[in-house]
Structure 1
Amino acid sequence: MPSTRSPRRALTAAVALLALTTATACGTDAAGGVQTKELRYQGSVGQVTLPELAADLGYLGDVKLDWIGNVTGGPADIQATATGQSDFGGAFNGAIVKLQAADAPITAVVSYYGSDAQTFQGYYVLDGSPIRGPRDLIGKRVGMNTLGAHAEAVLRTWLARGGLTAAEIGKVEPVALPPVNTEQSLRARQIDVAVLGGVIRDKAVANGGIRTVFTDYELLGPFSAGSYVFRDDFLTRNPDTVRTFVTAVGKAIEWARAQPRETVVARLKAIITARGRNEDTTLVEYWKSSGVAEPGGVITDREFATWIDWLVGSGELKGERPKPSDLYTNRFNAAATPGGGA
């Protein structure tokens, strides 16, 4: 669950712990020159991450995944990576920009989710709601999986493009809710708007009684929205392991893109059943695509530039504007090499 500590204090603690973690780790792996073959990570209830799919497809080879628990939001996931609690994490690219701006030495290595005509984040209301446009949201509550990430950034961009002032945008209240509870909260009228994405959105739409106000795909077109990150010291010590991981994720993206939807859904359900975490497989029945824009999850400048512009414009980034190319690397991704493929 999201932390109740102030974001600034939590981030300061994260960076401090990172320095200690880095110093300790560099004194072990680097000295022996042995690269780790086990990657600690956080998963998602009732869903299958791309690394989990890649492992099941055999693309990870001798690299193993070590599940340490579940997470509800990207910012918490990449903070865990920054502090050394996990080896990799994934988040909305704007959240990655903010964490790196706070001097956390992490680098994005592969895209893992995005929005396209099939898979997107929508902003939904009950059928009888009077909410139609940006001004109708003033004074309203918008439920989303986590604050300060994809859903909030897209919402504020839509409101700003709709002509709302900063003061008016401040009167729209984002509310953090676990994704599996967001639809229920909307139907119980605890929130006015629900941000729903992927299989959770499709299930809610199938249940009826709700309609779309707008979607991130309508607002921005197709784009990769989030990336997996590693700590920089981990990349230095374990380049071959990271290369295996990144290329495997890219292959999983392309495998899912090439297969009939029914084949992918069956595979995802089998993975959930086999891992024995007492989960419902209903969500993955609505899977349509990963939404990743580029082949093999290759990252482009645009996927960070959009959110750098937003963060600077909203006053959340101070000082020198970061360059998108400083925030990510494709050097571990075989799909970025001519003839490398995914």
Structure 2
Amino acid sequence: MTPKFHNRKKELAVIAAVSLFILLFLIIAGCTQNSSSTNSAGSSGAVASVSSGVNSSFYTIRANVNKDCSGTPWYVGVMKGYFVSGGINFVDAGALDWSLQPAALVSGQTDVVDEHPNTLIDLKLAGANVTGVALSGQEPPEGDISEYHMQWLVLNSSPYYTIQDLVANGHKPKIAVGALGICADLENNAWFRANNLSNTSFQYVIMPDPQQEAALRSGQIDVAVLHPPFYTAAEKHGGVRVITTSYDAFGPQAGTTLLVFRDADIQEHPDDVRAFIKAYKNAERWSDNHLTESGILTAGVIGLSNATPHYYSQSGAITDDEIQPWIDAMVADGDIAPGQFKPSDLYTTEFSDTWVNETAVNGPDPVDPFPSLEKSTYD
């Protein structure tokens, strides 16, 4: 049994989280075009239109695909045919703010999300019956800064070269993050904590990644915390430099994300979940092994001149070591109690047979089912 954390502040936070998810469900149910709560084909999303002709013998997976760093596996999965060859009808349910995507999963509007462990913990705190089935994102080996999960950027003209510079003379830097309760703020908190600084030493400015570069250049913020491809684009534009990275701030688990499904689907459709994992992981392996092409493909879709895709786990194997640092960071931030969660609470080993390097990673690519498809068609 999970030990109860006797802290009124935390109890109120959990109650608020449950209320929030109920509210988000109502919002999403009223706003999304796919109102079905069953697993049926059909969507207004871009991939669905590209994939014309739904195969009735395939299982349908719906997901929200944003035009940002998270989109690469979806683009590759469609354009290189991994979903079709894996027996999956993939339906793009349309772009949706990251803060709403977990609620879309819980409410049945979508079937899978790719999230960091802290988001999965937040869902479980809110009473959601969801579980990780495979490792998706992973921090690359130390040294290749261009593939790290995030970079903290400052202006070249700024006096900031170290974290101590940021807080010198009582300065309280404005640090932009896409939202609170995500990877950016959790890892930034850890960076400050590791340098014996508290989260009162800075001020968060909530701002989507695509807006942060302009805000940094105009002086509205001191630090932009960016994912690829946005840090790649900012650096190509010049005038900025890296003050730290996700690897330096959080270590080798900084890029950890899990593919998350509802428990009901895991229990009722295990073979279909397994087929999706294989298809999605094959798309991620292709991206890892064709970084230039996957970057060009991603840039074309989201409208940037340059893009760097995220780095993904080749095997998909979930380990306690990948998750524990996230739990430790949430404990340090006061979000959960010591011992309240252990890594195995967040994932199942039911699909460990998919946690291998499959599909000729170094061999020929699959036949492209859409040979006439232009990269910009994903609109």
Taking structure 2 as the reference length, what is the TM-score of the superposition? 0.72
Relative distance call for 1:131 and 1:262 in structure 2 (3 A) is closer
Aligned partner of 1:142: which letter? I
Equivalent residues, number: 311
Structure 1 match to 2:234: 204
Matched, 1:12 2:19: yes
What pairs up with 1:271-286 in 2 under 5 angstroms?
272=301, 279-282=302-305, 285-286=306-307
Relative distance call for 1:327 and 1:188 in structure 2 (3 A) is same
Relative distance call for 1:17 and 1:218 in structure 2 (3 A) is closer
For 1:53-99, what per-residue CA distance to the aligned partner results, in whole angstroms no more than 9, with x for missing partners?
223322223311222221343x4322221222221112222222222
Matched, 1:49 2:68: no
Aligned partner of 2:307: which letter? Y
For 1:130-186, what per-residue CA distance to the aligned partner results, in whole angstroms no more than 9, with x for missing partners?
233334245221112221111101111010110114xxx224222221211111111
Aligned partner of 2:269: which letter? N
Distance apart, 1:124 and its partner CA: 1.1
Q: Are the equivalent residues in 2 in contact too, given 1:72–1:178 (CA < 8 A)? A: no
For 1:202-248, what per-residue CA distance to the aligned partner results, in whole angstroms no more than 9, with x for missing partners?
11011111121111112344334222211111211221221111111
Aligned partner of 2:177: which letter? M
Matched, 1:250 2:272: no
Structure 1 match to 2:158: 129
Structure 1 unaligned blocks of 5 or more: 1-5, 29-33, 273-278
CA RMSD of aligned residues (A): 3.1
Partners in 2 of 1:8 and 1:210 — Cα distance?
42
More strand by share: 1
SS class of match (1:69): coil
Distance apart, 1:13 and its partner CA: 4.4
Structure 2 match to 1:39: 61
Structure 1 match to 2:328: 309
Distance apart, 1:113 and its partner CA: 2.4
Aligned partner of 2:65: which letter? G
Structure 2 match to 1:163: 196
Relative distance call for 1:76 and 1:35 in structure 2 (3 A) is farther
Q: Are the equivalent residues in 2 in contact too, given 1:247–1:333 (CA < 8 A)? A: no
Identical residues among aligned pairs (%): 24
Q: Are the equivalent residues in 2 in contact too, given 1:123–1:194 (CA < 8 A)? A: yes
Q: Are the equivalent residues in 2 in contact too, given 1:41–1:88 (CA < 8 A)? A: yes
Structure 1 match to 2:260: 229
Structure 1 match to 2:181: 148
SS class of match (2:287): helix
Mean Cα displacement is larger for which, 61-70 or 47-56?
47-56
Structure 2 unaligned blocks of 5 or more: 1-12, 30-35, 41-55, 362-379
Partners in 1 of 2:22 and 2:265 — Cα distance?
15
Matched, 1:173 2:166: no
For 1:263-290, what per-residue CA distance to the aligned partner results, in whole angstroms no more than 9, with x for missing partners?
33454467x3xxxxxx5253xx322x53
Q: Are the equivalent residues in 2 in contact too, given 1:246–1:333 (CA < 8 A)? A: no
